[in-house]
Amino acid sequence: MSQLSISLRNYSLTADSTDILSDVSFELNGSGTVAILARSGTGKSTLVKSIARLLDDTTVWSEDGVLAVNGKPVSEWNRIALRRKAMYVPQKSVVFGRTVADNLILPQKLVHPERSDAELVARAHQAIEQTQLADEISDLDLPVSSVSAGGQQQRLALARAFVLDPDCLMLDEPTSALDALAITPLENCILEMARSKLIVIVTHDLILARKCDRVLFLHNKHDTGARLVADGTPEQVLFDPTLKEPFAFMHAR
Amino acid sequence: MFRFFLRSLLLLVTALPWLAVAVLVNGTEVDNWIDFIFGWPRENGTEGGIFPFIVNSFAIVLPAIVLAVTIAVPSALLFQMTTARSVAMRSLIDLGASVPRLVWGVAGSLFFGSLLGLGISAATGILTLTCLLAPILASNFIDSLSVEREKYLPVGRALGLTEWQSWTCIILPVARPAMALAIQAGLAKALSDAAALYLTAGATLGILSSLDAPASTLAVQILMQLLEIGGGGKRAFAISVVLLALVILIQTPLILSRIDNRR
């Protein structure tokens, strides 16, 4: 398993002349879990989308500073190769095709044509186990209509990313549609997976953030673009009263 | 303005059943339906059956549909995949879709018939019908793909699929049912076309023997009965009933799928 590094140095981003990110700098390397925390609408999702070059193409974006993956600026990457290495899983889960196999086998065939049929199926079943879908999905030929609940679709979308085995997974609110009983096993699965790859989690879920190795806290003061106001372990970021915004975020409820 | 619209709508709603009843009442005065459907025309088309016209209808319409789909699917995909999604290209397609059939007939007979030397023949009819159907289908396909594009293209991109893979492996299969319905509607439209085919494929009584020979479809026969054969009104109504039955038969899967979706 090759590992990935993401590097931002004084990175700023504007959308249609509105400041979204301002002077953000951090380095992510190797493996482990990194939570990106901020209030809604601060630009967390935009940040990870910009890493995978998935910004909405109807908006005029303007960037400044350095955003590099494996030492190479993302603008110089082949977008497809970049997205296969640093994969973004959107918050809104969309399943496609007619069957579960269309979601778990077909993308593998397209991204990893070298995999044998047996490997494709084995990886699909492994992802189903990892995402706690084994009780709902007994057969890969099951119609996707039978996996219709929001939480099920979110887990199927996660499984679809897992089977592709990227070096880095960027999960946007991965537990937002899950019930309490489904969250813990999935969190454990994500943490287990983070032993061998980098997992970036955009979340409001403070319980999940506290289980991560590292927390990045963004804050947008006076609409001048979100800045990175804290970077460290969950204890360092969320429980330090001198860090005003993260501390308030942690103790708001 | 609103009242005028309401009155027109009311008139249309009340007139439609009457029109259907008029066609059925006038058109069902056939002594023997088996002989009428499976028989050969006699007495210059004033007597006998209409079997050659049924065969000709499908022999002309089916290749035209296949050709039109072959042109329309890549056109719609190309349109959707190009980042510009040019207004000019879309306007051109929509213009092509709204050109009257008679104009297509004139253009087809001039271009394929005279310029390419195909004359009045089944080939000219098929090619003209293809030109008539392709923009209609392409316009429908573009709309079907647009609906799915917003939802599924970001997913394909996030998974690291190429644009081509996203379109052909995810979006196209999802849009296929809507596209199939558009093809069905196109088939029904093509079967009932008389104006363009009258000018390009001609009006004869025989069954289609080769692509360079003229061949008359059911819709063209209705036109011939009304225009060229004195007292052909009853026969025209009877052929209309057969054509209507064929169109309903083609539309049945569409109706059934809608009922199925409601359940």
Contacts of B30 (CB under 8 A, 6+ apart): B36, B238
Residue B25 pLDDT more than 70? no
Give how far A27 is from chain B: nearest CA, Å.
22
Identity at A71, one-letter amino acid code: G
pLDDT more than 70, % of chain B: 87
What average pLDDT does range B102-113 have in this prediction? 94
Amino acid identity at B160: G
d(CA B106, CA A198): 66
| B19 vs B74, higher pLDDT | B74
B151: chain A residues, CB-CB within 8 Å: 94
Predicted confidence at residue A105, as pLDDT, reads 96
Q: Which amino acid would we find at residue A36? A: I
Instruction: Give the pair of three-digit tokens for residue A133.
Output: 């879908």
pLDDT in tens, A22-63: 999 999 998 999 999 998 888 999 999 999 999 987 788 999
d(CA B199, CA B193): 11
A91/B contact by beta carbon, under 8 A: no
Interfacial A residues in 172-231 facing B (CB < 8 Å): none
Instruction: Give the integer Cα–Cα distance in Å for B144 and B76.
Output: 9
User: Does the structure show a pLDDT above 60 at A1?
Assistant: no
Interface test with A, best of B145, B152, B155 (most A CBs within 10 A): B155
Interface of B with A (CB under 8 A): 83, 151-152, 154-155, 157-162, 165, 169-170, 173-174
Asked which of A223-232, B3-12, B16-25, B116-125 is least confident by mean pLDDT, the reply is B16-25
Residue of B nearest to A165 (CA): B159
Helix, strand, or coil (residue A73): strand
Angle (CA) B207 B213 B216, round 5°: 50
Q: What letters, b where the CB count within 10 A reaches 16 and e where it falls short, cover B78-117?
A: ebbbeeeeeeebeeebeebbeeebeebbbbbbebbbeeee
Is 90 exceeded by the pLDDT of residue B44? no
d(CA B4, CA A34): 65
Task: Give percent of chain A above pLDDT 70.
Answer: 99
> What pLDDT is stored for residue A191 in this prediction?
86
Closest A-chain CA to B173: A97
Alpha-carbon gap, residue A29 to A33, rounded angstroms: 10
Task: Give the one of B151, B158, B161 whose C-beta lies nearest to A88's C-beta.
Answer: B158
pLDDT at B11: 67
Residue B18 is predicted with a pLDDT of 65
Q: What is the pLDDT of residues B161-181, one digit of tens each?
A: 999 999 999 999 999 988 998
Q: Is A68 helix (H, G, I), strand (E, B) or coil?
A: strand
Q: Which of B212, B220, B217 is nearest to B112 (CA)?
A: B212
Decide: A109 and A43 in contact? Cβ < 8 Å.
no
Residue A81 tokens, joined: 């190769």
pLDDT score at B28 = 64
CB B133 within 8 A of CB B64: yes
Q: What does the pLDDT look like over B210-249, one tens digit per residue?
A: 898 999 999 998 988 888 776 667 788 889 889 988 888 8
What's the gap in Å between the CA of A9 and the closest CA on chain B? 24
A244 Cα to chain B: minimum distance (Å): 35
Nearest CA in chain B to A102: B170
- Residue in the structure block whose two tokens are 């909405």: A56
Chain B residues with CB under 8 Å of A110 CB are 161, 165, 169
pLDDT tens sequence across A177-200? 788 877 887 888 888 888 889 999
Q: With an 8 Å Cβ cutoff, is A97 touching chain B?
A: yes
